[in-house]
Amino acid sequence: METRSKILNLLQQQLENKSQNKIAKELKISASALSQIMTNKYPNPENIYQKIIDKYEGVVEIVGVGTKQSAKEVFDEIMEEINGA
């Protein structure tokens, strides 16, 4: 899959449950930068593409929980429970 298509797909998945502003905050970018990325108007978006891939690729929905978390977040929570943290 082409990088831009992959990015738009990842963002669309997140937009099913979150606002564009929430996604921008999660990525630590401005809402206008995110909008420009989505409309292919952001100059040299490769660094932000990588942020999006790192944050949202491999995101799983946890059964019984109304949120989506990355696999790493799920793993970290499980390890905290196991270690009694």
3-state secondary structure of 6: helix
Domain extent at residue 76: 3-83
Q: Phi and psi dihedrals of 66, rounded to 5? A: -85, 30
pTM above 0.75, yes or no: no
The answer to whether the CB of 33 falls within 8 A of the CB of 39 is no
Rounded to the nearest 10°, the torsion over CA 79, 7, 14, 48 is: 70
pLDDT per residue of the chain (85 residues) written in tens, 0 to 9: 588 999 999 999 899 889 999 999 999 999 999 999 999 999 999 999 999 998 888 765 555 555 566 677 777 888 888 887 5
Domain count along the chain: 1
| pLDDT value of position 30 | 96
Q: Phi and psi dihedrals of 65, rounded to 5? A: -120, 135
What is the CATH classification number for the domain harbouring 69?
Answer: 1.10.260
